[in-house]
Amino acid sequence: MRNSRRLSSCSAICCTLSFSMAFTIDRWLDRVNCPVCQRPAWCCSGLGPQICHNGGEFCRILIPAMTTTTDRYQHLEASLARARSELDAAEAQGLFCGLLCASGRVNETQWLGEIFEEGVDTDSAAVEACRKDLNSMAESLSTALYSGDMDLELMLPDDEAPLGDRAEALGSWCHGFLFGLGLGGVRQEEIRSSEVRELLQDMGEIARLNLGGEEGSEEDEAALTEIVEYLRVGVLYIAETLQPLQAPPRLQ
């Protein structure tokens, strides 16, 4: 179990992250054009989109991406449990995303080998169904990560879940991503981009955030929302930096 922290750590981490990448993310997002008006799309504080310069459809496309894929999260979570995987849905998606960012492609055998325990009956109906669910998630994630539309959605519990549960799932996502990046052959000390190295350090901090299922204040809720959006945009930045935009990759 990861080290527990008090609820106020949500706000503390958010304050730290808000300064660490604001300029870099803002400069990067300035290169993104609204698909409706083709003008620069974002005014961004470093923590997420606020308004399309034209007031067009772009924000109505992007802002829902700040929410999580609740139904798919619950479905994959149940599927993994039936297959007796030790990973939750958040960590499984983070793992795949890390592997994908590492090399632009993912070896299905390697990825699934980390999800299913050694000795598990891979021919069982539960494992086969889970494999299909994972592959469906992987295809959607691959498209989102490299489409250029910035519509990446993180698999996390919905907003009705206790703050602590959502924070723990976010930590699991980061843990999976960092593990996948390392499994894919990326060594953080060899990454040239100081911004990416800083983002990965931030992910390490988020991975240790565990609030034990407790409830939080409105301030904590707002802080966690900003951390989720910071992570979502940060992952897109890492993907573009390590693996420049390309056709959506496929499992191998």
Q: Please say whether the beta carbons of 52 and 61 come within 8 A.
A: no
Q: How many CB atoms are located within 10 Å of the residue 8 CB? A: 14
Fold for 8-242, please state it.
Answer: Four Helix Bundle (Hemerythrin (Met), subunit A) (1.20.120)
- From the CB of residue 170, how many other CB atoms can be counted at a distance below 10 Å? 26
**Pick from 135, 170, 156: which is nearest to 69 by CA?**
156
Domain boundaries, the chain: 8-242
- Look at 42 and 194; give whichever has higher pLDDT: 194
Identity of the residue numbered 33: N
Contact 109, 93 (CB under 8 A): no
pLDDT score recorded for residue 1: 33
Mean pLDDT within 187-200: 87
What is the DSSP annotation of 165-211?
A: HHHHHHHHHHHHHHHHHHHTT--GGG---HHHHHHHHHHHHHHT---
Would you state the pLDDT for residue 175? 96
Q: What is the pLDDT of residue 215?
A: 62
Count of CB atoms within 10 A of residue 116's CB?
A: 20
* pLDDT tens figures, 137-162: 999 898 888 776 677 889 999 888 88
Distance between CA 66 and CA 49 in Å, rounded?
9
Write the pLDDT tens digit of every residue in 25-35: 444 444 444 44
- What b/e readout covers 24-39, taking b as 16+ CB neighbours within 10 angstroms? bbeebbeebbbebeee
Q: What is the pLDDT of residues 159-182, one digit of tens each?
A: 888 888 889 999 999 999 999 999
**pLDDT score of 216:** 66
- Report pLDDT for 200: 93
pLDDT band at 220 (very low <50, low <70, confident <90, very high): confident
pLDDT tens-digit map of 80-99: 999 999 999 999 999 999 99
State how far the Cα of 202 lies from the Cα of 76, in Å rounded to an integer.
Answer: 27
Q: Average pLDDT for residues 15-33, to the nearest whole number?
A: 44
